[in-house]
Amino acid sequence: MKTGILLTNLGTPDEPTKPALKRYLSEFLSDPRVVDPPNKLVWWLALNLVILNVRPAKSALNYAKIWDSFGPGSPLLNITKAQLSGVKKALQRDNIENIELEFEMGMRYGKPSISQALNKLKDKGCDKVVVLPLYPQYSKTTTLSTLDAINVELDTWLEQPEIVFIDKYYQNQSYIQALNNSIREYQVKHGVADKLLISFHGIPQRYIDNGDIYYQHCMQTADLLAKSLNLRDDQWQVSFQSIFGREEWTKPYTKDTLESFAGSGVESVQVVCPGFAADCLETIEEIDDENRGYFINAGGKEFGYIPALNTRKDHIDALVDVLSVHL
């Protein structure tokens, strides 16, 4: 019996160009888990007549800023490949039970797809597949959407493998410790800022009101992290970034929080993004560039972005810890 290990993440365009971004955003924004509008016809018209004709060009420029920053091509793709390699080496080294393992990665949107990854594991003879979406905090917009993609593919198979789906790891001690280590190491080099801002990707508040537990998971992760760092309540705050559209999203917004900090006399801030397992557009361009500008322009003096856990050894060990329970 072979067991497949499948790491998944959100996805990436093939290249930083308008046509590539149009393909990618079309797939992403057509997912009803991501955008669940009250009026689907109005949304379809807005998406296809306006958004996909305007947004891709702007997004392509932003992707061009970060392209090749972690090796040739997409940072998210390159980092996820390296994470898979690290997990593979660690599990093969510590495979006490001598389980025959195979490894693949797949993206929810773009390439390589989750469908392609599952078929590769199928071709390798895997009777069981352990799926780890690299989203520590559960959300219907990310985690459940990943499960949707798996089910759509498996529904076409005559024989289906046993699927073990890991839907969260926001409280995992190894994950919290890796975040702790990354912050302390950064502060050894750069000093301790007046404020630590813990920024998560936002989702529409309507989704939270309708039962999505993402906000709870974010707050619990932040609380565990702050306690592990022995921070006082006035030394840290949670915020939410990457707002899209006109409806209300989870608050407080990262942009508003940074501007408020600067306006109230906070001279230095450091931002960490625990919801991102790998650095990507939302961390490299949005946080370390765009939001840095908001803070500095509002009167702040020192801004520091603490990188995502990426391929840190303690992060790989944390992912292995999460996976090992299911092997």
CA distance between the termini of the chain: 12
Distances (CA, A) of 8 to 121, 165, 289, 298, 313: 14, 11, 26, 38, 19
Arithmetic mean of pLDDT, 84-97: 89
Residues 12 and 112 placed together within one structural domain of the fold = yes
Percent of the chain with pLDDT over 90: 95
Residues 154 and 262 placed together within one structural domain of the fold = no
Assess whether the previous peptide bond of 133 is cis (omega < 30° from 0): no
Confidence of residue 322 (pLDDT cuts 50, 70, 90): very high
Give residue-wise pLDDT tens across range 22-58. Answer: 999 999 999 999 999 989 999 999 999 999 999 999 9
Task: Give pLDDT, residue 1.
Answer: 84
pLDDT surpassing 90 at residue 281: yes
Residues 186 and 147 placed together within one structural domain of the fold = no
Residues 155 and 225 placed together within one structural domain of the fold = no
pLDDT surpassing 90 at residue 124: yes
Task: Yes or no: say if 266 and 196 are a contact pair by the CB < 8 Å rule.
Answer: no
Q: Which domain holds residue 114?
A: 2-169+314-324
Residues 158 and 271 placed together within one structural domain of the fold = no
Confidence of residue 327 (pLDDT cuts 50, 70, 90): confident
Cα 25–chain centre separation: 16
Q: What is the CATH number of the domain that holds 86?
A: 3.40.50.1400
* Predicted TM-score (pTM) of this structure: 0.96
Residues 181 and 99 placed together within one structural domain of the fold = no
Give which of 258, 282, 2 is closest to 124, Cα–Cα: 2
Give residue-wise pLDDT tens across range 58-71. Answer: 999 999 999 999 99
Give residue-wise pLDDT tens across range 188-220. Answer: 999 999 999 999 999 999 999 999 999 999 999
Residues 149 and 202 placed together within one structural domain of the fold = no
pLDDT surpassing 80 at residue 97: no
Q: Looking up tokens 């669940």, which residue turns up?
A: 36
Residues 147 and 195 placed together within one structural domain of the fold = no
Residues 179 and 210 placed together within one structural domain of the fold = yes
Number of domains in the chain: 2
Residues 103 and 247 placed together within one structural domain of the fold = no
- Give the whole-angstrom CA distance, residue 36 versus residue 34: 6
Task: Yes or no: say if 310 and 81 are a contact pair by the CB < 8 Å rule.
Answer: no
pLDDT surpassing 70 at residue 96: no
Give which of 75, 130, 82, 144 is closest to 102, Cα–Cα: 130
Tell me the two tokens of residue 70: 């972690």
DSSP 3-state assignment of 62?
helix
Give which of 143, 79, 91 is closest to 114, Cα–Cα: 143
